[in-house]
Structure 1
Amino acid sequence: MTLALSAPSDPADPINAIYRQHHGWLLRWLRGKLQSADQAADLAHDTFVRLLTSTHQPALREPRAYLTTVAQRLVIDHYRRLSLEQVWLDTLAHVPELTAMSPEERLDILQTLHRIDAMLDGLPAPVRSAFLLSHLEGLSHADIAARLAVSERTVQRYLVQAIERCIMLIA
């Protein structure tokens, strides 16, 4: 269920003005990206929540550009989560029935995958890519280096950085 983001009651509030002027546009833009009215509404809501909870609310000269940037990042996160879930469900479909997991175990694993995804989210893109190519696709350091157009030593540094981040966030 989506909670509606209510616009602040003070009409002089700049966030209120941005919400009133751009919410409909953002919702339509997200519908075009997501093909789902419910998901679009959720991400429009999340976009404005990010704006409201921003530690330094910027003076927005171009609110649509700002909203688009935030919404694009949320769309990327949405599709990345869907992809992660689909890989897990595809893997699970090949598990024999005798070793199949209960719905609770499946949920625990999906939640763990989401936490790992969130941990990796703060990494630079090449570091995250190297980690995923190594651990999800099982590529060798040489294959990862070729795919990312870097040296094998750089791949090793990327993997160390990703693993250190995982350890830091788990501890």
Structure 2
Amino acid sequence: MSTMPPDAVPHEHLHVLYRDHNVWLRSWLRHRLNNSADAADLAQDTFVRVLLARTASSLKEPRHYLATIARGLVIDLYRRRSLEQAYLEALQLRPEAYAPSAETRAQILDSLLAIDRLLDGLGTRTRQIFLAVQLDGLSYEKAAERCGVSVSTVRKHLARGLMHCLLLDEA
């Protein structure tokens, strides 16, 4: 009778995957990021994703799979840093007396990142129209004029954007 827990086999596959490819992945990430600490963090995050997806045992091309996950994490890292930088620049324009607390800044940044993830799934045109109406407060006519499309196209894209956000919110 075996004393191994039921999930020991998948963990063994992950251990082998980690042992065989971690150094390569960290090097691959370090080359793209020029930062050893970020590379190590994203390599760990990549293996956590593999663990959570339980795919370590069925990989035919592990480096391709790991690079695909890591590439997405690099994009997320750059997106987060870009959003943080834009937010900090906007904060610098406010008088110091109106500056939010560190906790409020963190909450706002988390909210901005959540909104960014919601909008990420929209096409470029839909995102542009959605933001023009929802964020800039433009009328459908003004949004149509700004984007060089008809008002019915604005309605269609706005409906698509709203449905996308509602479906993601439900999930």
Query: Please, what TM-score do these two structures have when normalized by structure 1?
Result: 0.73
Supply the AA of the counterpart residue of 1:40.
Answer: A
Supply the AA of the counterpart residue of 2:157.
Answer: Y
Matched residue, 2:128: 130
Structure 2: any 5+ residue segments left out of the alignment? 1-6
Aligned equivalents of 1:18, 1:120: Cα separation in 2? 34
Structure 1 counterpart SS, 2:58: coil
Matches within 5 A, 1:105-120: 105-120=104-119
Matched residue, 2:4: none
Structure 2 counterpart SS, 1:95: coil
Structure 1 residue 141 displacement after superposition:
4.1
Aligned equivalents of 2:65, 2:55: Cα separation in 1? 13
Query: Please, what TM-score do these two structures have when normalized by structure 2?
Result: 0.73
Structure 1 residue 14 displacement after superposition:
2.7
Aligned equivalents of 1:132, 1:19: Cα separation in 2? 42
- Give me the identity figure in percent: 39
Matched residue, 1:16: 15
Aligned equivalents of 2:59, 2:26: Cα separation in 1? 19
Instruction: Report which of the two has the higher share of helix.
Output: 2
Matched residue, 1:53: 52
Matched residue, 1:68: 67
- Give the conservation status (yes or no) of the 8 Å contact 1:10–1:16: no
Matched residue, 1:148: none
Aligned equivalents of 2:68, 2:147: Cα separation in 1? 29
Structure 1 residue 90 displacement after superposition:
0.8
Supply the AA of the counterpart residue of 2:15.
Answer: N
Structure 1 residue 112 displacement after superposition:
1.1
Rg larger in 1 or in 2?
2
Structure 1 residue 140 displacement after superposition:
3.9
Structure 1 counterpart SS, 2:112: helix
- Give the conservation status (yes or no) of the 8 Å contact 1:47–1:67: yes
Structure 1 residue 131 displacement after superposition:
5.9
Number of aligned positions between the proteins: 157
RMSD value, Cα = 3.3
Structure 1: any 5+ residue segments left out of the alignment? 1-7, 146-150
Structure 1 residue 104 displacement after superposition:
1.9
